[in-house]
Amino acid sequence: MNRSTAQLKPLGLEACTALDLAFADFLQAQDPSSDPRHYWLAVLTSYQMGRGHTCLDLQALQDQAAALLGWTAAQAQVLPADLSAAAASLPWRVGDGAPLVLAGKTPLQRLYLRRAYQAEQDVMRALRARLTQPLLETRGWVAHLNALFPPDAQQNGQIDWQKVACALAARSSLTLITGGPGTGKTTTVVRLLALLTAQARLQQSPMKTPLRIRLAAPTGKAASRLGASIQSAIAHLPSALHIDPPAAPETLHRLLHFTPDAPLREVPELACDVVVVDEASMIDLEMMARLLAAVPLSARLILLGDKDQLASVEAGAVMAQLCEGADQGGYTASTVDWIQVHTGQDLRQFATASDCASSWLAQHTVMLRHSRRFAANSGIGQWAQGVNAGDTRTVKTLLTHCPIAQTAQDPLFPPDVDLLSVQRMPHPAVAMTVQQGWTRWLTLLQALRKPQAVCSDAQALLLIESFADFQVLCALRSGPWGVDNMNFCISRWLGWGAELWFSGRPVMVTRNDPNLKLMNGDVGMCLPTANGLRVAFVQAGHIRWVLPTRLDAVETVWAMTVHKSQGSEFSHVMLVVPDMPSPVLTRELMYTGMTRAKKRLTLVLASQSVLLQATAARVMRSGGLFELTGESVE
């Protein structure tokens, strides 16, 4: 162990990983530095990258190190004095190919690993190129827009944000559409595709091909849901503007030919006119850079996502950073006037004070605000809104008035949010709620647990659909309150033993498998067939059977982490909150978990204070994309 590593030991293995230390050791071995602060800066830059930050924010490191690093005050005290000031003399940032990059001007300086810096610069260059493209021709389509959004369908004088989103997307090569669950992001996109298709038909020459549309999402599960939502929304289009369903959505990995060595290869340009990507909040920085490089400037790129959901597992919070301030609008006078003329919507209350202070991106960003899933007075909606706003006072009030699960006076009409207050896990009340949640599924499955039973495709489809009536979500993977223990407990609560494969076992794919055409996040179910146990997966509305022994990357999914649940929705969600605070417990995680529930949410709490602390905590990922969002319109 060298001297610098020894100096890191008080914090060492407790917070930083072996990879972080090895990275700094490598730099020190290649170009030794006598300043121990340099070693610390290298370790912390790698450490922050592993936590999802694209860089080490030096100003925050100086002012609030514990909060930035997710450490305790005692841990932060071991950091050397004037650590941020040592960045200027780092020997490992000198030269074009240096492994570290110091960016920004004092005091807003940031230290990057070169790969992350390059990806961020690629994203910013690509976005600037799109934002400076001339606005596209929009004459003659107002009648089509009004047919898709009839003026008499608007209620109470509210702004029709879906109509605004369609109008802005029709004239631009880039549009960001954000909004919570049930706000109509997919419906908006389908109407936009109908609008663009109608325009293409008017301009089509005998030699011109139809509109080339590509649909994608970060995971196979999200792609499948996007495809189903689009199919459903197409059925509600006006007959005169009906469109054929686009090609089935793909995962981003498949769309962009992404493999482990992808960063070393040139990005292929997509042959397309429109690219729609759902669940964009899950896209990390490097994948976003690859996406922007692949979509030609001549094509429209539409990114859909909830900016308030959890960010990507890998480094970056691109959608959240790009949509910063979307709730205020920030539209220029010229944008407000254009929207008024073309859509009849009055956005003056969402206008910026002056064009010079406005962001380029704001003119291409729309936040959908009216949820059709959660009514204004619904319990789930109130909980989601209070947690998302970090309003601990409202959350305290909701906790005070939240009914206790299984004690509601009318069991046929349970409240949409209830509470299970338990001090330990496992707990009988939790077991009973789980059994009740899957009552319909267990009833359907009962006949298939008998010897010689054979499951048909229709039965398999119904079982998989009914299983989604209920889902257990956990904030953590390990410990008594985590996924691993909950899966163990639930298997026994429902009457299964220790066998690996059994009729009814639900599994989630944990790694893309191109050979089996299964993607990370796909959920299937083990069921009996005439040829023995097989795992049924739903693909394009049909059942596909896979031999269990061919699935080398699956896990039982009675319970899943909130991270894994992104892009999914369930009728009834049981959200298990651990008994102790954790760095992963944030308002984004709680909001994401709560909004996976469509009709009913059951909170399992050991301590109300843990939920309140999570509500007050935010995911703050460091990065330099704010330099783009703050740029003005020229």
* pLDDT in the model for residue 2: 47
Using an 8 Å Cβ cutoff, are 481 and 579 in contact? yes
Counted residue by residue, the chain has a size of 634
Is the Cα torsion angle 561, 389, 169, 299 positive or negative in sign?
negative
DSSP secondary structure string, 507-543?
EEE-S-BTTTTB-TT-EEEEEEETTEEEEEEEETTEE
What Cα–Cα distance (Å) separates residue 431 from each residue in 259, 315, 436, 487?
42, 37, 9, 12
Nearest to 234 by CA among 207, 215, 221: 215
| Closest by Cα among 300, 362, 359, 345 to 164 | 345
pLDDT given for residue 411 in this prediction:
54
**What distance lies between CA 376 and its chain's CA centroid?**
24
Q: CB of 99 within 8 A of CB of 38?
A: no
| Cβ partners under 8 Å of residue 219, min gap 6 | 251, 279, 282, 519, 520, 521, 566, 567
Q: DSSP per residue over 299-365, as a string?
A: SEEEEEE-TTS---SSS--HHHHHTTTGGG--B-HHHHHHHHHHH----GGGB-S-GGGS-TGGGGE
Q: What pLDDT is stored for residue 12 in this prediction? A: 45
**DSSP run (H or E) holding 421:** strand 417-421
Which of 339, 528, 540, 395 is closest to 450 using CA atoms?
528
- CA–CA dist 119, 285 (Å, integer): 6
The candidate with the shortest Cα–Cα distance to 51, out of 475, 481, 623, 567, is: 623
Q: What is the mean pLDDT of each run of 10 residues along the chain (634 residues)?
A: 44 71 91 91 92 90 87 84 91 89 84 92 90 73 85 68 92 91 87 86 62 87 82 85 85 79 70 91 89 92 89 79 86 90 89 68 90 76 90 92 65 76 91 93 91 92 93 94 94 86 92 80 91 89 90 92 87 94 89 91 93 87 69 46
> Which residue from 525, 499, 523 is spatially nearest to 510, judged by alpha carbons?
523
Q: Which residue has the tokens 């892009």?
A: 567
Does residue 106 come out as left (phi exceeding 0), alpha (psi in the -120 to 50 range) or beta?
beta
Residues 540 and 249 sit within 8 Å (Cβ to Cβ): no
Interatomic CA distance for residues 229 and 45, integer angstroms: 41
Euclidean distance between the first and the last CA atom of the chain, given in angstroms as a whole number: 55
d(CA 326, CA 609): 31
Instruction: Give the pLDDT confidence score for residue 412 in this predicted structure.
Output: 55
What whole-number distance in Å separates Cα of residue 454 and Cα of residue 532? Answer: 9
pLDDT at res. 186: 87
Q: Enter the DSSP assignment of 79.
A: S
Whole-number Å distance between alpha carbons of 352 and 134: 22
